[in-house]
Amino acid sequence: MRLIIATIFAVTAAAWSAAEAASLRVAPVGLELVAPSAAATLSLNNEEKRPVNVQIRVFRWSQVNGVERLEPTSDVVASPPATVLKGKSKMLVRIARVSKRPVSKEESYRVLIDQLPDPSQRGTASVSLVMRYSIPVFFSPQDQAPPALSWNVRRNGGKLEVTVSNSGERRIRLSDLLLKSGSGKPSVLGKGLVGYVLAGSVKTWSFDFGRTARTVTLEATSDLGQVDAKAAVR
């Protein structure tokens, strides 16, 4: 059996649509809990007639030097951490923050939900497509400053690296990233979801892109509205 894992970064309706062929469905596609709330549920739905094995893990999510990082954590747990979901059935998984430390600033986690391979298919010549959902989970204080973004753009060979710093206290989700250079037609850098910039963090994306002007305008759609920024190209 050849195994293929398809990861669904389930944060938008588009990500949900991409998973329509999967036997395992997960909802909602993201969780935000404002203190004192400390727990919520995810719904797992098996649309196949046969049972599926599911593993649920929680990781602390950060961005270090512009790069995503997931680390094991005991501050937030999933219950149950694993299950066998019967055919044509659904169940709830509880995601809870068990740390006694008060939520003084926004905390970011990802819940990875893996549909594990069917043991009965081992040794066959078939291709097994299993799903991994990556669900963002945020625990936030009641009062927090909005995102505050600054942009940097630089050439790196044939690549264009776009770096966004967020000095605010809340994350921001960016999609449909466009670049305007001079009076020409805008260039699409990222269509659909581009990603998150977490609170107090930096995120870098690298795009295939040729030469451009020394100063560019960047436009994106966010979960808080339209984003427009100018940046010098280094």
Torsion of CA 172, 176, 179, 185, to 10 degrees: -150
Do 216 and 128 lie in one domain? The reply is no
Do 8 and 54 lie in one domain? The reply is yes
Do 189 and 135 lie in one domain? The reply is no
Do 225 and 129 lie in one domain? The reply is no
Which residue, 141, 148, 133, 156, is CA-closest to 207? Answer: 156
Do 163 and 126 lie in one domain? The reply is no
pLDDT in the model for residue 5: 55
Do 97 and 196 lie in one domain? The reply is no
Do 56 and 103 lie in one domain? The reply is yes
Cα(212)–Cα(63) distance, rounded to whole angstroms? 28
Q: Let me know how long the chain is.
A: 234
| pTM check: above 0.85 | yes
Q: What's the structural domain count of the chain?
A: 2
Provide the CA 153 distance to its chain's centre, in angstroms: 23
The CATH number linked to 100 is 2.60.40.10
Residue 185 neighbours by CB under 8 Å, 6+ apart: none
pLDDT in the model for residue 212: 83
Do 7 and 60 lie in one domain? The reply is yes
Which residue range is the domain that position 64 belongs to? Answer: 2-140
Instruction: Report angle CA 186, 67, 187 to the nearest 5 degrees.
Output: 5
Do 99 and 164 lie in one domain? The reply is no
pLDDT in the model for residue 38: 98
Do 165 and 90 lie in one domain? The reply is no
Q: Which domain-ending residue is among 119, 140, 161?
A: 140
Do 123 and 163 lie in one domain? The reply is no
Could you report the average pLDDT of every consecutive run of 10 residues in the chain (234 residues)?
56 37 87 98 96 97 97 98 97 98 98 87 60 97 97 93 98 97 88 97 94 91 97 93
